[in-house]
Structures are given as structure tokens and as C-alpha cells.
Amino acid sequence: MLTTRPRGTNDILPGEVEKWQFLQQLTGQVCREYGYGEIRTPIFEHTELFTRGVGETTDIVEKEMYTFTDRGDRSVTLRPEGTASTVRAYVENKLHALPQPLKFYYIGPMFRYDRPQAGRYRQFHQFGVEVFGSNDPAIDAEVIAMAMDIYQRIGLKKLELHLNSVGCPACRPVLRQKLQEYFKPHLENLCPNCQGRYERNPLRILDCKSEKCQEFGKDAPTTLDVLCPDCSSHFEAVKGYLDEVGISYTINNRLVRGLDYYTRTAFEIMTRDIGAQSSIGGGGRYNGLIEECGGPATPGIGFALGLERILLTAERQGIVFPVSRGPQVFIATVGSGVARKAFGLLQNLRQQGITAEQDYLDRSLKAQMKYAGKLAARFVIILGEEEFDRGVAVVRDMQAGEQQEVALGELVSFIKHKG
């Protein structure tokens, strides 16, 4: 073998790909119902889009990007997520001049140089939505409701919505000061990373994965303690809309998004598989991001989910996806004289919308029947020279195990009627 696929990538084969097609169709359908249009942006972008748009101090930018210099000596990066590209397209195409809000969705591969593990790949796939141009809490609730709707239609169980407000540039300095007061006595016990964060961005200490930092941060003040009146009423309104449509939520004041352009609503959807609780998607408001990327001050909110993660969770929860079915018709031939006629019939059936297959390995009739069984064909049309001369073919119903002669001119309507 010449080589294998790169570590952290996957071949999605027929038999498995149907699940992906199902998810793509389902998400597309839900997006149409909610009025979100698909946007397709390049797989790679100029590197600075992500350093600015995702954030220089994030793990993604610091450790996980597929960045390389192209032949024109420009630094480009395979997109590690979908929001920054969507924002860039919005600004570059001057979509802010159109009636707002604008609602987008995307689905496709993303790239992160991460340690591969179950449900985690270096080339992985995300579905996401972004809404630009509205600060209305009804939009926050809509994005959340849409996410929950998608999970429910997939059939995922034990869904838990975690909700928080991370405030705005008006409330954050207050929290920053309170956090610094809180962590001051523990400063030298924090991990080296968080010691740096203490000055730069103490909010991110709450985000730290180190057990020690989590322990020290247990009773730290949170954004909910410092929300300004506007953020507070926005948060109340979001909860009110969710109550209205019967979506229950857990307030989780530990749900932080450390970057300055994240504002107000933050949410994460959790589920349980084999006992452990895990995140299957999340999002929130980012009213500062579009400006950060060089556009006019424009509110925005988004949501994203990883398709690999969803499929893994669905499998662990025993959810059965639609499976690929065999062809409706297999054409078996007896004698080489009917090969051309069989080919014509095959084409005719397909053009009538009937899925049809034939033998391409010169098998005996017995072997053709066996092969048709393996393909799970619903009917086998047996075309012999003698029958053909009489203007008929034998049709075998593979489910019922019965067969009968059908006039050649009646084959299509016979299959359509019985299949």
C-alpha cells in the first residue's frame, strides 16, 4: 500500500454516508423552515482572519491551526471553525446594506490539529448558524430553539440546555475587578497559564481545565452577579421566550466565553451517553466580532455542532438512521443475445425513477440471482432470448419468492405498481 489516510481523518463509505446525507437533509430542512440561507465560504482563508476572528489567546489559534505558506508566500489557514469566515463574507460582500437581520447556515469540513480520540478528528464536520444585525432577544431564543429542534428531530435523548449571560463591555470591567480581588490570595497556586490570565483576562481562569484552578474558582463571582440593567433585561427576555415555547434550561454561570467580543447569551447543549455528560453543541452572542473583523458595529449570534459528535452520541443512544436500500430492480440475462436489450431496459427503468442494476461480470443465471440477493434487490427481471421473442420477461418478487411473466411494455408500470 502506497500510504494511508492522514491521522485524524476519516473515509466516509457508502453504508455510512447515508447517515451524513440524512443529517445534511434534516439540518437543511430545519434551516429553510426557520428562514436561514446556506452560505458556502472557502475552506482556507488568510491566517489573520482566524487570529483576529477566533482570538489570539485561544487554544485553536495557539495550538491547533493548519497554517501554511502557499506558493505565493502568503500565510493561509484551513478553517478551524465557521463563524469567522461567515463574518468575513458578510463584511466583504457588504451584506450589512441589505435589510437585516441576515440569517445564515453552513455545513462542511473544519480542520484542527488536535489529538485524535473518539468522535474527534483533525478534519471534522460542523453545522452552524449565524444571525447578523439584530439584538432582539427573540433571535437568541430562536437560535436556541432551532438547535433543540434539530437534536429532537435526530432523536437524541436526555438533552440539557445550559444557559448563561456573559454580559457586555459595560458590565465586564466590574467583573474583572471582582475576579482579581477574589483570586488575589490564590494567585501563586493557580496554574502558570492562569497566572498570566490574572492580569490579561481573569474571566478565562473560570474556563481553565486544570483541577486546581477549578477548585479555586468554585466560589468566584460570575457575570450574573454584575449584569448591567440592559444585559439583565435581555437575559430575562431570552428566558421568557424559551419558557413560552416550553424549552427548559439550567442556568449555568460557569459557562464563560473568554473573549471580549462575546456578549450576553451563551449556551451549551449537553446530553448523556454511557453515563457521562458531554456537550453536543453550543453558541452565543458576539456583538463585538463583526467590528473586530473590520465591519460596521453589528450585533451577531451563532450556534455550531459537530457532526461526528452527533453521530457518535446517536449511536450510543441506539438511534437508528435510515439505511441504504437495495435497488428496486436487478436485470438478469440468459444468453448474450439479450445484453443490448437488457442495457436498454436498464436505462429506461432508471429514467423512470426506478433504481436498477445489472450484472457486469458475465455471471451464470444462478450466480446472477445470488448476486441480486446480496444487493437486496426487490425484483429480478429475468430476460431470456426465448421470452424476449415472445415480448415478455419473467419478474421474480424476491420478497414473496414468486415469479410471473410480464409483457415488456408493462414492466415499468408493473414495478411502479408493486414496488
Binding region for Zn ion (CB under 5 A) = 167-168, 170-171, 191, 194, 208, 210, 213, 228, 231
Question: In angstroms, how far is CA 142 from the centroid of its own chain?
Answer: 18
d(CA 397, CA 210): 63
d(CA 248, CA 160): 8
Q: Which is nearer to Zn ion, 116 or 196 (CB)?
A: 196
Q: Which is nearer to Zn ion, 225 or 362 (CB)?
A: 225
Least distance in angstroms from the C-beta of 158 to Zn ion: 30
Least distance in angstroms from the C-beta of 214 to Zn ion: 8
165: three-class secondary structure by DSSP? strand
Question: In angstroms, how far is CA 280 from the centroid of its own chain?
Answer: 10
Instruction: Look at the chain and count its residues.
Output: 419
Least distance in angstroms from the C-beta of 284 to Zn ion: 14
Q: Which ranges constitute the DSSP H helices of 217-323? A: 229-244, 289-292, 307-316
Q: Which is nearer to Zn ion, 126 or 223 (CB)?
A: 223
Q: Which is nearer to Zn ion, 213 or 349 (CB)?
A: 213
Q: Which is nearer to Zn ion, 123 or 210 (CB)?
A: 210
Q: Which is nearer to Zn ion, 210 or 355 (CB)?
A: 210
From residue 63, how far is each of 50, 56, 67, 114, 318 by CA, in Å? 13, 10, 10, 8, 35
Task: Identify each DSSP E strand in 274-359 by its residue range.
Answer: 276-285, 300-306, 329-334, 356-358
Angle in degrees, CA 63, 64, 68, rounded to 5: 100
Q: Which is nearer to Zn ion, 40 or 254 (CB)?
A: 254
Q: Which are the contacts of 400, defined by CB distance < 8 A and separation ≥ 6?
A: none
Q: Which are the contacts of 166, defined by CB distance < 8 A and separation ≥ 6?
A: 203, 223, 255, 256, 257, 262, 263, 264, 265, 266, 284
- Edge-first strand order for the sheet with 123-132 is 37-38, 102-111, 123-132, 300-306, 276-285, 263-273, 160-165, 250-251
d(CA 407, CA 419): 17
Least distance in angstroms from the C-beta of 245 to Zn ion: 25
Q: Which is nearer to Zn ion, 19 or 172 (CB)?
A: 172
Which residue, chain included where needed, has cell 437543511?
A: 28
295: three-class secondary structure by DSSP? coil
Least distance in angstroms from the C-beta of 73 to Zn ion: 38
Least distance in angstroms from the C-beta of 136 to Zn ion: 16
Least distance in angstroms from the C-beta of 54 to Zn ion: 20
Least distance in angstroms from the C-beta of 196 to Zn ion: 9
Q: Which are the contacts of 223, defined by CB distance < 8 A and separation ≥ 6?
A: 164, 165, 166, 167, 171, 172, 175, 203, 253, 256
Strand pairing report for 102-111 and 37-38 = parallel
Least distance in angstroms from the C-beta of 271 to Zn ion: 27
Q: Which is nearer to Zn ion, 174 or 270 (CB)?
A: 174
Least distance in angstroms from the C-beta of 193 to Zn ion: 5
Q: Which is nearer to Zn ion, 182 or 414 (CB)?
A: 182
